[in-house]
Structures are given as structure tokens and as C-alpha cells.
Amino acid sequence: MKKILKPLISGIVIGALSLTINIDKNVLANDIANTCKYDSASKVNPDYSTMNCLLTETALRYNVPPEIVKAIAEGESGNWRHFDMNGKAIVTADNGIGIMQITNQAGYNQDRLKNDIVYNIRAGVETLDDMFKRKDLPSINSEERDILEHWYFAIMAYNGTKPVNSPFVQATGERNANAYQERILRIIEKLELIDLTELPFTREHFQYDSNSRENIKFSVMNYDFDLPLTKSKYFFKTNLKVNATTNVTVRTKPTTDSPSMGTLRKGEIVTITGPFEYEAVSTKKNHFVWYPVKRNDGTEGYVASSYLNYSASTPTTPTTPVGSIDVSKFADYKADQYWAEDFQWAVNKGLISGYPNVYNPATKKYENLLKPNTNLTENQMLSVLFRYFKSDELASTKPSSSWSADVNYQLASKYALPTLGGISTSKQVYAVKDITRGNFARILASMHYGKTVSQKEAIQFLRDFDLTTTKTDAEFKPNDSLTRAHAVAFFHRYEQIFNK
């Protein structure tokens, strides 16, 4: 049974960018080998439990989700193999070396890539980390490093941003299930036993010539998805309360071969009592790890990381009754800001919610945030709009496609709102772009009057009813992006004027 050594991970902070800057890489490699009790001089593939440890520990040192590193190793080498039966490193026809199939070997010692598994894994993780930092690839939301879906384009780039890896087949418009990143994400789902969210890209976002080997051209460089995304399961801390994602057996040891201590029911809250451990049966291949937990009745045992979630301690939806949520508990709440009372009202009315357990650059901690200055996309604004005006209809309307914004744009079309985005493929790209204050004014005023109005008429509407204190159209700044704070302030004023 292998346990994480606490001194080696005590300095790991999600979102930190300086985990190993001052650490000699050879010392780091020796630490990882020692942690996993692996002889780096051996020329045989380690057992599954040891390989799980080597991949996981290296990923953690570079602040990369281990789920992704292990899935790439699986996809590249098949069955986590580095050496062949003769003790020689596996080298493919395109000169990919070893378990991580390192093809871009500049800066690395080729002999060590072949003979040292830890060195090979490190090269792969460094490459993946470099891909995540690239500025010529699209970013997703705030690029939190512990959100698995945020690594979509870094995974693509690990294999190459060539047409073969386009999320869509240009000729048919179908989702490209054979794209490298799609295959890696399916490995995560299958072997980590977790469900990931399919990101709602559109065909027009990826331009390429199917007869060329040129890289894909990305027409959207930043995506802001208002979707439930997946946090890595490797950062639960001791004493953290988590819950079970399904009915799952508690084991006496970190393996399914050990006796049962009972069954956790879906949603049951347990407490993490220590660092995770690797599979006790070294010949069993698991991508996941095991956490020691304690139930409310005092029973202690082990649960696979796949079946635990943060939602018990940091719920993604309010668990307190509507009207009793104290937004001052959010780390970025400021009572002296114009939006303070507006957010209190909007959050309790269910129009908008905070971001639970996300990285706060200001404090370098994971906290609950309101993010008042974050811009809203047109689709996100429509969600708020219909929650306010048509909450029942929003809940009962069935989507006509798999596109995540489908229902919002069905309703926008029904009420003839002057949106830039729409259900047609050519318009879907505008749904994820920031909405301007001017376009917001048009949509709000059009919803109010039941007819489409011009931007000038809309701003005058806001002025006539004291929804804005600006005196001129230029002062209103119609071309500026609409922030979350702007949105809740406008809706709160609308409520105070028209519904009271």
C-alpha cells in the first residue's frame, strides 16, 4: 500500500505557478521515485499501482490534474507500457518515445527519455503544462487549472492543432469523436469513472482546409461557459466534508478486494480523514485513488475518489432557503459598492449565483466568489432575463438540440428579442461573446414593450424610468461590455420601479 508523503505535497496550491521553479529537477525526480518506491534504474514496467503513483505524483508537482496525465499516458502507450519485453523503450514509427510518446525531444536527453520512466513522464507533463500556458490557443472561462474541461485545448495541442483534431468534421458538421482530445476525455470518463461536460463549441469556431496540413484557425479565443464543469478529484484536503455522487461501498482497505463497511447513499456527507492512497493490490489497474473517510456515525473506511464530490461543502446551487443567502460571505463582496444590495437581491431571487470554491488571484486561495466585474455573454444574460420574466416557461421549454443555449434562444425568438446570437449554426458563435450595454438595453426594453425597439429608444427607456442615471447616450457607454454587477443592478431597479 502506497501513501502520499505529506512533506512532498504540503506546498501544492491549486492555481500557483511556482511549484517547482526553485527545485532541482533531478532532486524532484528522485523524490517522486522514492515516494512511489520505484527503482529508476530498472528496465521493466512497474506494476499498475506504482505507475499510477508515478503519473499522479509528477502531475501534482506541476499543478496539472492527474486525471489528464494518466489518460494521456493511457492513450499514448496503451496499458501504461514504457518498455517492451526485452527491456527496451517502446519507440513508434514517428519516433515517439516511451509511455508519454515524446516526439518533440528538443531540450531533453533522448537516452534518458528511453531509459528513465520518471524522466519521460516529466517531459510529457512539462509539455502539457506548456500547452496550457500558450496564448495562441483558446481559453475557457477563467482557466482554473483544477477544472478538467479547461484543459481541452491543451490536450488537443499535445497531439497537434491539425485538422484531424478539429472538434467538428468540417464536411458534415458532426462532432469529431476521433479527435485526440475527445478520445483522451473518454478515457478519463471510462477509467476515472467520472462524467465530464461536453463543451458546446460550434462548427464555425474552427476553420481549416481539409486538404491541408496547416493548423486549425480558431475564430473564438475565449469561451465563457455557464455550465457545471468538473473539478479534479485529487485535491480534497483532510477534514474537508464531501458527499457521495452515487450509492457506493465503503471498504476496509483501499481496494475493492477488501470487506465492505457499508454503503454510502447518494448525497451522504462524509469527512476526508487523510491524504489519498493508491490501490492496495498492485496488479489491479485503476486510474482513480482511494480516500480515507469518516461517516457521521463514526464509521471509517475507504472510498474511491471517483465517487466523491466537493458539492457537500461548496454547493453549486443554493441549499439555503430563497431569501436567506448572505452574500456578504462571498470573499469579493464589498458593502460599499453600488452593486452590494443588488447582488443580495438577485442571488436570493435565484437570478444569478456565485462561483463556489474557485481560485481567487487576489488572495491566492480557493474561495466562494461573486465576480461582479466579470463580463456576461449574451447567452448568460438571457438566462438571467428569462429567470426574471419567464421562469416557469424557461423551466418547461424542452431543447430542440444538444446545444446548451438552445432553450434561451428558442424563447428569444418567440419574444422577438433583438439578439445577435441564434439557434442557426452561423449565429451560435455570438451566444458566447460578451454582450454590450447597448444590446442589453435593447433586449430588456424589447421584452418590456413586447416589440423590438432600437438602441436609442432602449437607452431613452432606461433614462425615462430612472433605470440609469446617465444623461446622454455617450455617457451610458453602450459599446462597453455588460458585467454581472451591471446586470443585477438593472434588474433590481426594474423590480423596484415596475413590480412594486
Q: Give the DSSP letter string of 182-229.
A: HHHHHHHHHHH----PPP---GGGEE--TT--SPPEES-SEE---S--
Tell me the domains of the chain and their CATH numbers. Answer: 1-208 (1.10.530), 241-312 (2.30.30.40), 378-482 (no CATH)
For 11, the grid coordinates are 506546498
For 189, the grid coordinates are 470518463
Cα torsion at 334, 336, 342, 344 (round to 10°)?
50
Q: Which of 473, 479, 376, 377 is nearest to 437 (CA)?
A: 479
**Model-wide pTM > 0.85:** no
Contact 107, 127 (CB under 8 A): no
- Characterise 499 by phi-psi region: left (phi > 0), alpha (psi -120 to 50), beta (else): alpha
* DSSP code, position 249: E
Kindly report the number of other CB atoms within 10 A of residue 487's CB atom: 26
Element (H, E) at 432: none
* DSSP code, position 337: S
* DSSP code, position 239: T
Contact 187, 75 (CB under 8 A): yes
Distance of CA 266 to the CA centre of its chain: 23
Q: Which of 89, 41, 78, 35 is nearest to 57 (CA)?
A: 35
What is the reported pLDDT for 10?
Answer: 32
What is the reported pLDDT for 16?
Answer: 35
What is the reported pLDDT for 494?
Answer: 94
Contact 91, 101 (CB under 8 A): no
Question: Pairing relation of β-strands 241-244 and 308-309?
Answer: antiparallel
All residues at 6 or more sequence positions from 203 whose CB lies less than 8 Å from its CB, including other chains: 168, 170, 173, 425
Residues 119-158 have pLDDT tens digits of 999 999 999 999 999 999 999 998 999 999 999 999 999 9
What is the reported pLDDT for 500?
Answer: 54
Give exposure, 349-362, as e/b (b: 16+ Cβ within 10 Å): bbbbebbbbbbbee
* Residues of the chain predicted below pLDDT 50: 1-23, 312-323
Burial environment of residue 8 by CB neighbours within 10 A (0 to 12, 13 to 18, 19 or more): middle
Q: Which of 274, 277, 237, 235 is nearest to 253 (CA)?
A: 277
